[in-house]
Amino acid sequence: MKIESLLEDLYGDDPARAEAAAEEIVARGEELVPGLLAGAAGGSGSARLKPYQRALGLIGPAAFDGLVAAWRREEVSGWLANRLLTAFDERCADRYAELAASPKYGVAGEGFSGLLRLRTDSEAGLRALVACYAHGRAVPYKADDYARALHDAFRPRLRALRRDPGVPPRVRRGAMAALVVGGGADALDDRDRATVERLIRVKIPHETPALPSNVLSGWWMAVPAASYEGLFDALDLHDRRPVTCAAGNAASEGRQIRVPGKADGDRARSVGRVFVTPELDGWRLIFGDYDLLVGDDWDDITDTVERLSTHCGQAQFFFLDDAGGSDVWMVAENGTVIRRFVAEGDPEGEGAPLPWETLAVDAPDYDPEYDDAPPHAGTLGARSACAHLSVDPNEIGPETRVRGHGWLAVTAPGVGHGAFPGRLPL
């Protein structure tokens, strides 16, 4: 019977013919693979591929091997291989692991995608996972998700690798990375946690500070370094610990996690991480999750900045969104906003202009007879104002005066840092 007829019966309305077609496909197996691949490559559209996926999946390992071989010979496109590789079941788990171990980023990603879909506790999959973190190359697609999905099963073996003296150092490093990606710092034992903390202390004095980019958008707050300790109470931050700028930046840009409520019946809470920089030219800057730290509306923003200034003497807030056209900065002292500049279309100001501001009415070409300029419309946006008010994050570098170290804190008590999955650069 021709392949087309088999596929018609396989996806037809007659259960008996479909069962017979499936049996014939399995019986003929490897013989049908070249024709199935050629047929799948002869058209376009995901819906049209379903009969071919079903037939290849029924054949199993022989079809998997034929597909991969055709992909490597470029007889099958990467797009088609991606679609057809979703067809196979647990019989091909080790074959997916072989793909995951490939040094080629795209091939390895297909392997980890298959392992994740199957959720198979595969020793070969564990080895591929460790290897992908040990090599120091870009982490393949879905590798992190696979580490998280299989973490409970893999954790004992990964910890054993960490303590095995016969394992090469790079493999032990890969095992540590897999542990942290899968389960956060809580997945490490006491010895490894102490090692990480010691490494952070060693790196802190020698790093050149750098801060999160605000090229298209960004936000941050600033407080005087001499009184920065008050920010932890003002913002209700918890479990602070020393951190490098590299790790702090990555953590502050990471996603929230959801944790159970404090008591039975309580709703789950969103928790994020907050990076407080070392002292930079006399100031400490604060980066983190906007929604959790600041809020959604002007009242929330104002309350946060004023509360922060009550604890620290002064507080500054900066917000940029080039795509949305927002440009905001705010200064509060001892619990009261003294100056606010908002540009969302037409600039608006609140409070007396500060001494360094260049106002529209002071511009050389301003003509009071013809020009209508709001008296408090500052001409400098947040990217320029920050340099006058405190420090410009984009200018932080080797020439910046640095004192102390940064802190990483979380926005809720009783959660700790270990619940956040993923690696942080040190």
Residue 173, token pair as written in the block: 């490093």
What Rg do the C-alpha atoms of the chain give, in angstroms? 29
* 160/164 Cα distance (integer angstroms): 6
Q: According to the model, what pLDDT value does residue 13 have?
A: 74
Q: 14: which residues sit within 8 A by CB, 6+ positions away?
A: none
Q: Token pair 């597909």 is at which residue?
A: 67
Cα separation of 292 and 256, whole Å?
Answer: 9
pLDDT of residue 376: 47
Reported as type and span, the H/E element at residue 76 is: none
Q: Over 60: is that where the pLDDT of 75 sits?
A: yes
Token pair, residue 226, equals: 């001499």
Mean pLDDT, residues 258-277 taken together: 80
> What six digits make up the tokens of 41?
């490559």
DSSP states of 336-392: EEEEEEEEESEEEEESPPPTT--BGGGSTT--TTT----TT-BS--HHHHHHHHS--
Neighbours of 104 (CB within 10 A): 11
pLDDT confidence band for 71 (50 / 70 / 90) = very high
Does residue 325 carry a pLDDT above 90?
no
Q: Which amino acid is at 351?
A: G
Among residues 164, 292, 192, 290, the alpha carbon closest in space to that of 237 is found at 292
Instruction: Say if residue 266's pLDDT is above 80.
Output: no
What is residue 331's three-state secondary structure?
strand
Q: Give dist(CA 341, CA 253) in Å, integer.
A: 25
Examine the pLDDT at 210 and tell me if it is beyond 60.
yes
What per-residue confidence (pLDDT) applies to 224?
Answer: 97
Q: Is the pLDDT reported for residue 370 higher than 80? A: no
Residue length of the chain:
426
The whole-number pLDDT of residue 361 equals 59
Tokens representing residue 138 in the block? 């870009």
With bands split at pLDDT 50, 70 and 90, how would you rate the model's confidence at 22? confident
Identify the residue whose tokens are 């079941």.
89
Residues 329/386, Cβ–Cβ less than 8 Å:
yes
pLDDT bracket for residue 366 (50, 70, 90): low
Query: For residue 365, what pLDDT is reported?
Result: 60
pLDDT at residue 265 is higher than 70: no
CA distances from 56 to 7, 22, 166 (A): 11, 11, 41
pLDDT digits (tens, 9 = 90+) for 147-163: 989 999 999 999 999 99
Structure tokens at 422: 């993923």
Mean pLDDT of the region 407-422:
83
pLDDT, tens only, 1-11:
577 777 776 77
Cα separation, 63 vs 39, whole angstroms: 14
For residue 200, what pLDDT band results from cuts at 50, 70 and 90?
confident
pLDDT, tens digit (0-9, with 9 covering 90-100), for 268-312: 788 999 999 999 999 999 999 888 888 777 888 999 999 999 999
The confidence score (pLDDT) of residue 137 equals: 76
pLDDT band of residue 135 (cuts 50, 70, 90) is confident
Highest averaged pLDDT of the listed ranges 53-57, 144-148, 341-345: 144-148
> What number of CA atoms fall less than 13 Å from residue 214's CA on the CB side?
20
Torsion sign (Cα): 227, 418, 119, 64: positive
Cα dist from 223 to 145, 162, 378, whole Å: 38, 42, 22
End-to-end CA distance of the chain: 62
What is the pLDDT, as a whole number, of residue 21?
76
Structure tokens at 148: 């998280």
What is d(CA 374, CA 383) in angstroms, rounded to the nearest whole number? 21
Binning pLDDT at 50, 70 and 90, where does residue 422 land?
confident
Mean pLDDT of the residues in the chain: 85
Residues 6 or more apart from 315 whose CB is under 8 A from it?
A: 221, 222, 223, 305, 306, 308, 309, 331, 332
